[in-house]
Each structure stands twice: as structure tokens, then as C-alpha cells.
Structure 1
Amino acid sequence: MRPVDLPRALVLSALAFSLNLQAAAPLPADTIYLHGDVVTMNDGQPSAQALAVRAGRIQAVGSEAEVRALQGAKTRVVDLKGQALLPGFVDAHGHVSLTGLQAVSANLLPPPDGKGSSVAAIQGLLRDYAKGPVARSHKIILGFGYDEAQLKERRAPTRQELDAVSKDLPVIIIHQSGHLGVLNSKALQLAGLNAETKDPEGGHIQREADGKTPNGVLEETAWFSAGMGLVQPSPQDYAAMLLEGQKLYAKFGFTTGQDGRSDEASNKTWVALSQGGKMLIDLVSYPDITLPFTAGLMDQPGGFWGREYKGGFRIGGVKLSLDGSPQGKTAFLTHPYHHPPAGKADDYRGYPALSDEATQQAVDQAYAKGWQLLVHTNGDAASDQMLRAVDAATAKYGAADRRTVMIHAQTVREDQLDAMKRLAVTPSFFGMHAYYWGDWHRDETLGPVRGDRISPAQSALRRQMIFTQHHDAPVAFPDAIAILDAVVNRRTRSGDILGPDQRLPVEVALKSITLWAAWQHFEEASKGSLEVGKLADLVVLSKNPLTVPPAQLRSIQVRETIKAGRSIYRAPAAR
């Protein structure tokens, strides 16, 4: 029987219909996740049964049947076994480069993160470190994380106590806040510090009983210039440190990190890592606006400043620091410290890092150039400095979507929150202070009334403000679960509840380290929630934070971290 000759138009129409069907058919997923709690951070679809990933992005979020329809012959199926799948955590403020430095230093942190509970314990930890490869090869003894608030002696170690560890090698220990440090006699000599050295602007060299001889403790700009100036790793060592910092972030579920107040050496190393394809997570850098190299870096044609990542790295804006730390009693307050430091008058309020004039110049520069600005203010007097400068700069350069951020905002007042909302300044709170230094603030630095209001996130929530929470690593470990526990419970080391009216609901706390943190970085279109088309930046948790009792949040463990669909960390038991 002869085949029927179909009209050419009909053949072409059938062919076109077939091609359209093929084009409309979805491609199979690379990976699908099933049998767990999918917590999306998307108000339009808060939860789901399953999620599909293709080419590093989220392909589908929905029911198991909907996602199973995307399963192909080569699709990897992950059984979550009742665990929770969330967006990868986004670092609202931290210092990944310094976290790498912490990784190669002696751990002097107090319990529960270390064993630095006394001066004698610190000396023992440093002596053990001196026997290790870093100290032997680099001829330096370096420790990180001492905190006089948790030491038995309630004071910093002295240069003589560090001399007891070594008189021949420089011994340098870094305060947990990162704003102070102690040098032994050898390190003081190498730094050129002696009885004739004057205090730098915005810093202080603590002295012995004669009022002249340095006792080893350096504060703020004195520490940053002299103490940290002695810690200069080679380019190869720096690259290794930054890789270690990224690994630590991934271990705690972070897929985006921040290098706040970065310097020239760290930015050069980040560029080298990104060009060499060695970025594990996305990294946003904010160089210090007061450093000479920053303007050239920001204005460099074809450089890394902008909204798009190049090899996992970009420069998001600039950082400005206006004071120190409350736990170190260097934050700039409007009212005196509850108990001033030894040798200080009763009206001691800390001190500013910059003059009002220098602050205004820096803010004006950022606003004129269109650079996003992150401003470190712990004390409310420093916050006043910032808000006055932002108000004046806004009047000069007009309102815009700048997403200016007040970093820490520890002691910010209610009237200041009103001003922040008016000026579109976003607070990024260091709510972990409630646990780590809550007792210290209540009894020593701020007193019970101001201590109860530290990191007042609930006050910002009542004003319907977007805000973020951060860890400020290496001040604390980059631990998202510890952030959740601290801001939801506000339980101190001693078990006290610090400011119960400032506690946050779990879902709000989660947004502050996912979707709202992505928004802070201008990345809400690609990160922070589990929605179709966004990057497959994911974290698998042992339990769903929304369903465990708040008191048990700290028991949640990170099982796996996935960056753009690729696993970058698996907990040992999950390997």
C-alpha cells in the first residue's frame, strides 16, 4: 500500500508541535532532596516536601510528586531522613581573613570554645603552641582569644607573664574582640614601643605603675598598627590562611562570607584565590575606607567592586570603624561605664576612633561615590557620630538605595533606632553578646539596665525594620546555630536571661542570617531563600529549628553545606 502523501504544511506543523513539546519538557534534575523538612524562608511558600537542583540553581520546590517528576536516569536522590534543608547561611558581618589567622594561632578562648580560663592556662597553651610547626618555622608565638572577662584573674596577662613563656621569641596574644592585644618584651622591642612612645589617636598603650613603661596591653589603633604589624604572613601563608577560614565558615553552614575592614594584603590574596579557582564560598570584601589603598582599589577600572562575583569574590563597599568593644571597655558611650577600667576616672566613657570631622569626610566620600558603607559602632556615642554624619551626607547627596549598615549597634537607643529608620540605616546586631558577655555587661561594663538592652533586635522588629545578626568571627566562631540560640533565648553563661523582652522568634532569627542578610548584601534575588531560580546554596541541619524547643536550639548540628549545588562540607558522621 502506497504511503499517503501528506500536505507539506501539515508535516511542518506536526514537526513544529513535536519540537515545542520537546522544548517544554523540563530537563532532569541533577539532585533532588526528599523526606525532610524543607524550610524555605519564602513567605509565599514557607515549607515544602522536596527540592530539585539543576546546574547549581534551584529547579523546583514543592511536593514530593512534583519534584519526583524531574528525576532522570542520572539524578542523584538524597534522602534527608527527617533532617532539615535550609538556605545556606549568609554572613552579615565577619572577618574571614582573621578567621584564617585564628586557625593558625594557639586557641586561648575560654570555655566552652577553648581552655583559656586563667593566666596560667594561657601560658600553658602558649608553651604547647611553641613546640608546634608554626612557631618553630616562623619564630613567633601567636595566640588568639584571651578574654579578661572570663579569666580567673579578671585582667589581661602582662608582658612579664608572656616573657615567662619566651624571652627570645616575640609572644603576641590577641583579645577575643580583636580590638586589643598583649605583647611580651621582645615583641614590644620589635614594634619600637617604649616609655617614650605616645598614644596614637584613637588608641591607648597601657602603662605600668610608673605611668610610662608599656605593660604589654595595646588598645585599638595602638594594637592595629604596632601589634598586628608584627604579624605579616607571606603570600603563600596568607593564601593558606584564607582557605582555612573558608573551610571553617563552610563547617558552620555558611555559603557566603564577609571580610569586613579588609586591608591591602587580604584583598590581593582574595583576588589571587578567585583567579586561581580556589574560592570555596562566595566572599564579599569591605576594605577600610581610611586606608590609603582603598580609593584606588574602589576606582580601579575593571576591578572587583560591584554586585557581580568574579570567581567567587567581589568588593561590596567600604568599612568605617568609629570605636572599640564594650567587653574591652573601649566602646564610646554617652554615659560612663558601670565600672571603669583600672586607673580610669568614674566618668570614663571610652573614646572615639575618629573625630567628627574625619567621620563626616569618610561618610561623604562613600555617599558621593555610591559605595555601600558599613560602620562599626558599639557605643551609643559612636552611633550618634555615625547618624549625624549620615544625616548630613543624605542632605548633600540625596536619598538612594544605599543599604548603609550600622555594624554591632550594641547599645543603640530607642531614639537612635527611630533615626536609623528615617535615614534607611540597617542595624546588624551582634546578638551573641547576650551569651558570651551578658553577665560581664550586666555586672561590669553597662550595668543591669543598659545590659538588658544590648543588641535590641526586638526594638527594631517592632519598628518593622529589616535587620541582620552576625558572629563577627573570629570574635566568636562563625556559628549560625549559636547565633540562633543567643538571640532567641538571650541566656547568659550563668543561666540568666538578659533582657527577655528583646528575645526574637525563631523564624525572625533565621531570616536575619539568611534572606535579610542576603538583602543587606544586595543579593536577595539570588540567595537567602529556597525559590526557583536562586542559587542552590543549601545547608542540611540535624533538626528543624522551627520545631525544636527553643532551649534545645544549640543541639542542632550542621550535617552538610552545599554551594551552588556542590557539597563543600560534610560532618564526619555523614560522610
Structure 2
Amino acid sequence: MHSAVRSLALACSLLTIAVADSFAETADVIYHGGDVVTIDDRNPTAEAVAIKDGKIIAVGKKADVLKLKGENTKIIDLDGKTLLPGFVDGHGHCMYVGVQAASANLLAPPDHTVKDIADLQAELKKWAAGATAKKFQLILGFGYDDAQLKEQRHPTRHELDEVSQDLPVLIIHQSSHLAAMNTKALELAGITADTKNPPGGVIRREKDGKTPDGVLEETAFMMAAVKVLPKMGEAELDSLGVAGQRLYAANGYTFAQEGRSNAVLDKTWMRLAEGKKMLIDVASYPDLTFSDTPFGIDTPWYSKAMKNGYRIAGVKLSFDGSPQGKTAFLSQPYFIPPHGQQSNFRGYPTVPAEEVNRKVALCYEKGWQFLAHCNGDAAGDMMIGAVKDARAKLGKGKDRRDVMIHCQTVREDQLDAMQEYGLFPSMFGMHCFYWGDWHRDSVLGAERAERISPARSALRRGMIFSQHHDAPVALPSAIRILASVVTRRTRSGDILGAGQCIDVNAALKSLTLWAAYQHYEEANRGSIEVGKLADFVVLDKNPHRVPISELEDLKVLETIKEGKAIYNAR
């Protein structure tokens, strides 16, 4: 049995000790009248659940649980709906979801309506007429995807100049690894024909090989965005944090991740937590890329215990870019190389190997959990090699749960190494829906595309993993993840790698209990068991009782955090 599975089993056993005593209590709320999917292998379904003071005090037969009914107990009839544990974010960026909500929506169907560059321009012009653009003197869009545009390319600066020549226009690619700017924005960023590519980034050029065409990759985009984006005050930042939480809650999440934070973001979360304005729980991972002492890691907020719904949980490292943006670092060339690259182009690392080794060793020295962004398998080699070296020099460490984020092209031999070193995979399985066709036809070719996000391969080894949305790269939809990893159906209707499909039970665990384990939270959340937080999501139907082709149609009706409804669609 995998060590993670043993740890989960032990935690579950300890929790059951409290069951007998729980019936001496009087419940605040009792849920009944629907399917209760517990994600507890010892007790997978139940008829009723009782909670008190925000925690679960009984799970079982309706007749038994109703014995906890008191004079003031609220009895809630689920009316045939399904109660599950609240979803736990394997990887996402909660604050940036708020930014997405405040930007022009450039997503393609089915999430929005942008199908070509003309649609994109129209959305930007419409947003430019609003109060936000006028207040900040900026036109900001999020979510365009060259893979989904009719033109199959990025918009140029000239096309964005058609939106505005007076205001800067910045549109962020759905991967969040690239962006496009108009001429005004490039001027504000100080990017000219003489500007060299920064380490770990690319400024794409026009046919003359010198003039920027408006598209910026990786660090080039990040450095430019800092100069173009407006400075916001505390009230504005707080509103983004609240907006991000609300969208997470509307999708059934009770635990979110700030998967690559900085001082501005963490100060905002601290302020919201201190002001008791947290709707859900948020675990933050400050970026270790540019500093050995990222903000907040030396404060009491760095803890395994939540404080008013927030904590700093570890640090984030990024080793490469985006496969759909063709900046991920692969061991084999891209099927069709991106604009301006040769046929042997494999992408590139965002940091050199020696720095990867040094940063990982630092995490072992300090005892920090780290998340490592590895989309390409060559980036995965860098992470695995750095962990091997750190362990040889510094020892295994106690209960380390270091996470490979995305694992898009992770190989079978790499999964063997990850299992050996206890590295936790957090997979981006919904890529099969959003970019599966693009991976097959342009990024990887059919053979390699069949294996993206190889969850079944991990299960065959007895490994557990989380599945994530990487919001705002995709909407924070656990339902879309569930449908994608069970069916592996693409936008076109193709099934991409049927051999890597997983069943509904494993998929739900990857969105709840296994994701909780990733965050050292398995004793607090992830399943409906006595002693855990009363964090629930109510769905219109039971995922186990619908055809897998209908999983994508499931609806989140209500989200409950510690016994209190924080979202209600009914």
C-alpha cells in the first residue's frame, strides 16, 4: 500500500473513535433526504449527516442521526439532491480569478463566445466603454486562446491598435504564460526593436526579425505587465480577493489555493483574514523564483493550521511554461514548432538547472513544502533530479509532500521516480477537453497527446493525486474536471487516450480527499466523516448515478462552509 494511502487510512480510523460519543450531543443542523457521497471507503454512502459548531458529529442511518435532533436543530431535506464534501483546490490562483472576473472575457465557447479576432476586438471595445477601463486608463482582457481562434494565431499589436491607439491594451492568454499588447502598451513597457529577450522569455518579432509584433512569452510578459498594469489600492485588491472566493464557492470549492503569490497578494489575504472577510479557506504558496526569502514565509501565517481562513503553506517554483502556448520544456520537439522556431524546438526552462537544484535544496534545508510547475517532461526531469540530489545531501526529510504541478507530459519512468521519492502529482486533466485537439494536431502529435495527464498510469502504481483547473487558466469548475478525467473527451468529441480514463470514484477523490492530503489537510476536510469540517457541496444529481456523458451537465446548487451556506443557486 502506498504510504499516502496508509496515512489516510490511519487518519480515518482515528476520526471514527469520536463516533460513539457524538450521539450525546445535540446537532445544530441535520441533512437528510438525498444521496450522501462521503468519499470514505469504510462508509461510502449515508442517509443523513449531523453537524455542530461547524463540524460533523454524525454520519449514518437517518434514524440514528435524527436522535441528535434538539429543540433548535434545523432539519434540511435535500429533496433528492446529492451531498458531497466541498471540493479542494489541487492548484489554482484564487486572487487572479478575481482579476479574470474584472477583465474583458475573451474565452472561447463553451465558456464564452470569442471565436475569432473580430470577436476579440468587439469584446475589448465593449469593455473599454465601461467604468473600469476609464478609471484605470487601460483595456484589459483575459482568456484568449490562439488554439481556438479561427485564425489559429495570436492577435498582433496592429490588430489591438484597432481597439485603441490612445489607451494601452493588454490581453492575457488563457494559459497565463503569454500575452499580447498594442503599440501603446509596448511603449509603456519600454519594449522596442532593440530590446533583447529576457532570460526565460521571448519577445516575438515581425518579419524583419526586430520589431516586436505584440506577443510576449513567459518572463517577457511578466516583466512588461508590471509596467503596464495599474497600481491598485487596498480596497480594490480586497475586492479582487473576495470576487475570486465567490467564484470558487459558486463552483463548490470550500478550499482554494493561491498557487504563486507575492507580497501584494499575501498582504491582501492577510488583511482579509484579519478582517474576517474570508468566505472559504485559502492556502498560499509565495514565489521562490526571485528570492530565497519570499514574503510571509517568516511570519506566523506560515503554518499548517488555518488562521481565519488563510495560511501560507509552502513555496512555489516554476521550471517551464505552457504546452498549449508551446513554451513548456519537452524532451522531444514540438509536433509543429511555434512561430519563428526551428523543427527541433523543444521549448525552454524558465530557470537554469543549477538554480533549480539550489532552490530545491533550500526547500529541504528549511523544511518548506514546495510546488513545482512542470508541464514538459524535461522540466520534470529537472525537478526529479534536484530532489534526488537534495535527498542525497540533506536526507529524506520528515513527511515531505512536494508537488509536481501539471504533470502534463510526465513519462512512465518519471512516475516510477516520483513514487520512489514520494512526489505528489497534481494533474491538469481538464486539458483533454480544452486543448486535447490542439495537443494532438499541433503541440505533441497523436501518440504523445494520448498520454497527457496520465492519471490511470498513476493509479496502476497505487499513487494518489489531485486534479486541478489552474484557474484562471480555466474556470474553477470541478464539474468540468470530473467530466474531463472520466471521459477524456475533447471539444471536438474525440476521446484522447481512453487508456488514461479514470472512474468517477477516483476522480471525486482527486477533487476532495486526495487534494486535502496534498495540503496536509486530510484530518480536517476532503470526506464526510465525524470530526471533520462541515464543508459540503450540493449537486443536482449523484455523479455515480448519471451516464458519464452527462457528468458535464451536473450543477452546483449550494456550497456550505463549516455549516453555513456561502453560495446558493436555488
Q: TM-score if structure 2 supplies the norm length?
A: 0.95
Q: How does 1:463-502 map to 2 (within 5 A)?
A: 463-502=461-500
Partner residue, 1:346: 343
Larger Rg: 1
Q: How does 1:229-244 map to 2 (within 5 A)?
A: 229-231=227-229, 232-244=231-243
Displacement of 1:358: 0.6
**2:333 is matched with which residue: 333, 336, 341?**
336
Structure 1 residues 24, 490: closer, same or farther in 2, change over 3 A?
closer
Unmatched 5+ stretches in structure 2: 1-20
The whole-number CA distance in structure 2 between the counterparts of 1:159 and 1:133 is 24
Partner residue, 1:433: 431
What per-residue deviation string (whole Å, max 9, x for no partner) do you get for residues 47-90 of structure 1?
00000011000010000101111111111111101111000000
Displacement of 1:296: 5.2
1:27 partnered with 2:25: yes
Partner residue, 1:215: 213
1:455 partnered with 2:456: no
Secondary structure in structure 2 of the residue aligned to 1:546: helix
Partner residue, 2:37: 39
State the AA in 1 paired with 2:288.
I
Partner residue, 1:132: 130
Contact in 2 for aligned 1:330/1:350 (Cα 8 Å): yes
State the AA in 2 paired with 1:417.
L
State the AA in 1 paired with 2:399.
D
Structure 1 residues 61, 167: closer, same or farther in 2, change over 3 A?
same
**2:356 is matched with which residue: 319, 344, 359?**
359
Partner residue, 1:8: none
The whole-number CA distance in structure 2 between the counterparts of 1:369 and 1:297 is 14
The whole-number CA distance in structure 2 between the counterparts of 1:459 and 1:25 is 43
Displacement of 1:24: 9.0
Contact in 1 for aligned 2:257/2:283 (Cα 8 Å): yes
Contact in 1 for aligned 2:427/2:455 (Cα 8 Å): yes
State the AA in 2 paired with 1:349.
R
Secondary structure in structure 2 of the residue aligned to 1:35: strand
State the AA in 1 paired with 2:547.
P
Partner residue, 1:273: 272
Q: How does 1:242-253 map to 2 (within 5 A)?
A: 242-253=241-252
The whole-number CA distance in structure 2 between the counterparts of 1:379 and 1:229 is 29
The whole-number CA distance in structure 1 between the counterparts of 2:349 and 2:294 is 23
Secondary structure in structure 2 of the residue aligned to 1:442: helix
Unmatched 5+ stretches in structure 1: 1-22
1:313 partnered with 2:315: no
Displacement of 1:25: 6.8
State the AA in 1 paired with 2:131.
P
Partner residue, 1:173: 171
Secondary structure in structure 1 of the residue aligned to 2:68: coil
Contact in 2 for aligned 1:188/1:194 (Cα 8 Å): yes
Secondary structure in structure 2 of the residue aligned to 1:36: strand
What per-residue deviation string (whole Å, max 9, x for no partner) do you get for residues 134-154 of structure 1?
111111100000000000000
Structure 1 residues 326, 85: closer, same or farther in 2, change over 3 A?
same
1:369 partnered with 2:366: yes
Partner residue, 2:283: 284
State the AA in 2 paired with 1:59.
I
Contact in 2 for aligned 1:286/1:315 (Cα 8 Å): yes
State the AA in 2 paired with 1:390.
V
Partner residue, 2:4: none
Q: How does 1:92-241 map to 2 (within 5 A)?
A: 92-231=90-229, 232-241=231-240
The whole-number CA distance in structure 2 between the counterparts of 1:152 and 1:76 is 54
The whole-number CA distance in structure 2 between the counterparts of 1:122 and 1:48 is 48
The whole-number CA distance in structure 1 between the counterparts of 2:472 and 2:509 is 22
The whole-number CA distance in structure 2 between the counterparts of 1:474 and 1:298 is 25
Contact in 1 for aligned 2:263/2:295 (Cα 8 Å): no
State the AA in 1 paired with 2:236.
D
Contact in 1 for aligned 2:22/2:57 (Cα 8 Å): no
Contact in 2 for aligned 1:432/1:487 (Cα 8 Å): yes
The whole-number CA distance in structure 1 between the counterparts of 2:367 and 2:560 is 33
Partner residue, 1:6: none
Contact in 1 for aligned 2:262/2:294 (Cα 8 Å): no
1:389 partnered with 2:386: yes
Partner residue, 1:16: none
The whole-number CA distance in structure 1 between the counterparts of 2:51 and 2:381 is 46
The whole-number CA distance in structure 2 between the counterparts of 1:395 and 1:541 is 47
Displacement of 1:263: 1.1
1:446 partnered with 2:471: no
**2:57 is matched with which residue: 35, 56, 59?**
59
The whole-number CA distance in structure 1 between the counterparts of 2:289 and 2:411 is 27
Partner residue, 1:513: 511
**Percent of aligned pairs with the same amino acid:** 57
State the AA in 1 paired with 2:352.
S
The whole-number CA distance in structure 2 between the counterparts of 1:25 and 1:44 is 19
Displacement of 1:397: 1.8
Contact in 2 for aligned 1:288/1:294 (Cα 8 Å): no
Q: What is the aligned-residue RMSD (CA, Å)?
A: 1.1
Contact in 2 for aligned 1:97/1:245 (Cα 8 Å): yes
The whole-number CA distance in structure 1 between the counterparts of 2:381 and 2:426 is 16
State the AA in 2 paired with 1:175.
H
The whole-number CA distance in structure 1 between the counterparts of 2:544 and 2:226 is 42
Contact in 1 for aligned 2:450/2:497 (Cα 8 Å): yes
The whole-number CA distance in structure 2 between the counterparts of 1:233 and 1:344 is 38
Displacement of 1:395: 1.4
Contact in 2 for aligned 1:287/1:294 (Cα 8 Å): no
Displacement of 1:299: 2.1
What per-residue deviation string (whole Å, max 9, x for no partner) do you get for residues 497-532 of structure 1?
000000000000000010000000000001000000
Partner residue, 1:68: 66
Partner residue, 2:15: none
Partner residue, 1:9: none
The whole-number CA distance in structure 2 between the counterparts of 1:52 and 1:296 is 40
Displacement of 1:293: 7.7
Contact in 1 for aligned 2:56/2:533 (Cα 8 Å): yes
Displacement of 1:441: 0.3
The whole-number CA distance in structure 1 between the counterparts of 2:232 and 2:113 is 26
Contact in 2 for aligned 1:264/1:293 (Cα 8 Å): no
The whole-number CA distance in structure 1 between the counterparts of 2:203 and 2:407 is 26
State the AA in 2 paired with 1:526.
N
The whole-number CA distance in structure 2 between the counterparts of 1:227 and 1:258 is 22
